[in-house]
Amino acid sequence: MSWNEWRRRIAVAMMAAVAAWPAMGQERPDTSLMHYKGQDRAARIEAAAKREGTLTLYTSLAEKNIRALVDPFEKKHGIKVVVWRSGQSRVLQRILTEASAGRHEVDAIHMGSPELEALQRERILQPVDSPVFQQLSEGSVPEHREWAATILQVFVQAYNTDKIKKEELPRSYQDLLDPKWQGKLGIEAKAWPWYAALVRRLGEKKGVKLFDDLVDRNGISVRHGTSLLNNMVVAGEVPLALTVYSHMPQASKDRGAAIDWFALDPTIARANGVAIARHAKHPNAALLFYEYMLSADGAQKEFAAMDYVPTNAQLDSPLPDVKFALVDPETVLEEVDKWTRLFDETFVKRAD
């Protein structure tokens, strides 16, 4: 679905939301602590959150990681987190569908930065002033402060160590034009944000031609899902994958699989982030969870243990030697039709 189609859906949703909230005689929850800066801020948020007692989280986090992130929060604060999890597009669709029906079930949201930016533009999120922002790496908090990055998912290249020797690895994207890579390359079917960011940094004309030539000469296998692509490398069906997240091959390698990874320059990363719904029923519990997700002694250390790159600069990055450029969520939104078309024409429609 194109961004223009999403915008039409969101516009309808927001008209319904404005009409439905607050209902006659219904008191809107107090959100003043979102901007409170007093010395007793933490204590007041904790107390208000405990009075609410629960929050609902919509997320695209990997299912296997959710409990490792949520359980410590529930244990520490005694607040129940009700989780609904799905892929990015389904999470976005559910938020829009509920808004169009005047339902406000979601309190906190964790998903990709382009999707969060889309929700921000249509006033579905609310701004937060948090002292935790001072601990985050540069670029983690947009000027509007309606979401904040929690982790960076870094696109790296993964290879099967039984099929490819380390000394044979390409040192640049240009090296992939070598005929020795024919029939050995794979890419994820929805990796167009990576492609857009990479091509823009290579120079658009030069970058588009490079990947056109690459597919013409050596072909490429397109796989649906980054986890599946990683597994295909482990199985040897895709000897070299161009677009997997760094934590995936590292986790497989740690389990003894025949896989390793490297990072070609420029290396591209995309942010996932956390936000609070503008019409949250449990805004203070959501705020407590929001700051937990950004804190070095909260979820950030759990993310780091999973080999994600945390945005809290008080923690060490698992990729200290990798320099990367971030996918710009605004570019993703404004040029989605252009880059999805180019990506599909270059890779998907010409796949092996």
Confidence of residue 99 (pLDDT cuts 50, 70, 90): confident
Q: Are residues 15 and 145 in the same domain?
A: yes
pLDDT by residue (tens digit) across 157-215?
999 999 999 999 999 999 999 999 999 999 999 999 999 999 999 999 999 999 999 99
Whether residue 337 sits in one domain with residue 190 = yes
User: Using an 8 Å Cβ cutoff, are 108 and 55 in contact?
Assistant: yes
pLDDT at residue number 18? 47
Are 83 and 164 in the same domain?
no
> Which domain does 85 fall in, by range?
3-150+271-317
Whether residue 120 sits in one domain with residue 45: yes
Q: What is the C-alpha separation between 150 and 311, in angstroms, rounded?
A: 5
Do 107 and 176 lie in one domain? The reply is: no
Note whether 24 and 139 are same-domain residues. Answer: yes
Q: 70 and 81 share a domain?
A: yes
Angle at which helices 3-20 and 113-121 cross, to 10°: 50
pLDDT of 17 strictly over 90: no
Q: What is the pLDDT of residue 51?
A: 97
Position 89 confidence tier, pLDDT thresholds 50, 70, 90: confident
Q: What pLDDT does 1 receive? A: 47
Domain count of the fold of the chain: 2
Q: Is residue 85 part of a domain?
A: yes
For residue 68, being part of any structural domain is answered with yes
Percentage of residues of the chain with pLDDT beyond 90? 77
Percent of the chain's residues with pLDDT above 70: 92
Q: State the CATH number of the domain containing residue 305.
A: 3.40.190.10
Residues 276 and 146 both lie in one domain: yes
The reply to whether 323 falls in a domain is: no
In this structure, are 26 and 160 located in the same domain?
A: no
Residue 324 belongs to a domain = no
Identify whether residues 85 and 158 lie together within a single domain: no
The reply to whether 138 and 13 lie within a common domain is: yes
> 87-115 as b/e, with b when 16 or more CB fall inside 10 Å?
eeeebbeebbebbbeeebbbbbbbbbbbb
Average pLDDT over residues 91-115: 91
pLDDT band at 273 (very low <50, low <70, confident <90, very high): very high
Whether residue 260 is contained in a domain is answered as: yes
CA distance 325 to 104: 35
Does residue 325 fall inside a structural domain?
no
Residue 205 lies in a domain: yes
How far CA 271 is from CA of 127, 139, 140, 187, in Å, comes to 18, 10, 8, 20
Backbone angles phi, psi at 338, to 5 degrees: -60, -50
Is residue 264 domain-resident?
yes
pLDDT of residue 153: 92
Q: What is the mean pLDDT of the chain?
A: 91
Position 7 scores a pLDDT of 54
Distances (CA, A) of 186 to 37, 137, 179, 212, 331: 50, 32, 15, 15, 25
Assess whether 62 and 160 both reside in one domain.
Answer: no
